[in-house]
């Protein structure tokens, strides 16, 4: 069995590196207004995506009546949950942290103020390490890389219709690469993938 200290360190690493959907919990699903059937469909679709079956995942979401608006509401609710966790860590507020992680897997790991202090320290170490790792990817400052990425993304997005932009957003949220490729193909944009820019 793993020690609690190791679990706390792993959880802190996960909080620093996990995307928005790592912050879903019953409370987040409720805040997004999803039904139990939709939550089950999301969980099944997640498993299907991890298995590489994007078409079945998309069909499962459609069958449950999950729309782009539902996915956006879930994204916003999860983003709010993540922001609450980060704010409580930054403020060193254990009570706010407990409220932010209620009904999430973190609540089973960080169960005391001492655990919170250890979690906060591990989280800060991970955040301090992140810029070093990013900066080593290039000689350019990190802010320049971000600005270049934002400019490139904006220049690509402006070539899409409103429907294509909405479809692209949903496809990105569900990590549906085939649909993303189809949208770019439909818009006549070639070689948009990061691996082709090298």
Contact between 66 and 38 (Cβ < 8 Å): yes
Give the CA diameter of the chain. Answer: 55
Average pLDDT in the 6-22 region?
59
| pTM (whole model) above 0.85 | no
Q: Is the pLDDT of residue 94 over 90?
A: yes
At 126 the pLDDT is 77
Provide mean pLDDT across the span 28-41.
Answer: 90
Q: What is the pLDDT of residue 18?
A: 56
* Percent with pLDDT over 70 in the chain: 67
Q: What is the C-alpha to C-alpha distance for residues 197 and 73, in angstroms, rounded to an integer?
A: 33
List the chain domain ranges. Answer: 1-136, 139-198
65 pLDDT higher than 80: yes
Closest of 126, 155, 169 to residue 20, by C-alpha: 169
Quote the CA–CA distance of 67 and 99 in Å, as a whole number.
29
Q: Is the pLDDT of residue 133 over 90?
A: no
Secondary structure of residue 179 in the 3-state scheme? helix
């Amino acid at each position: 069995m793993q020690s609690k200290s190791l679990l706390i360190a792993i959880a802190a690493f996960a909080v620093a590196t996990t995307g928005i959907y790592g912050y879903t919990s019953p409370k987040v699903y409720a805040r997004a207004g999803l039904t139990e059937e939709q939550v089950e469909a999301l969980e099944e679709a997640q498993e299907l995506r991890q298995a590489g079956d994007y078409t079945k995942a998309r069909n499962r979401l459609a069958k449950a009546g999950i729309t782009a608006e539902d996915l956006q509401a879930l994204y916003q609710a999860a983003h709010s949950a993540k922001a609450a966790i980060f704010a409580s860590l930054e403020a060193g507020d254990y009570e706010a942290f407990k409220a932010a992680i209620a009904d999430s897997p973190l609540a089973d790991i960080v169960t005391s103020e001492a655990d919170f202090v250890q979690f906060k320290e591990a989280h800060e170490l991970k955040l301090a390490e992140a810029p070093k790792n990013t900066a080593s990817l290039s000689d350019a400052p990190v802010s320049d890389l971000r600005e270049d990425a934002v400019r490139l993304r904006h220049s690509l997005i402006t070539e899409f219709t409103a429907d294509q932009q909405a479809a692209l957003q949903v496809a990105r949220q569900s990590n549906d690469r085939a649909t993303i490729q189809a949208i770019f193909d439909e818009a006549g944009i070639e070689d948009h993938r990061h691996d082709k820019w090298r």
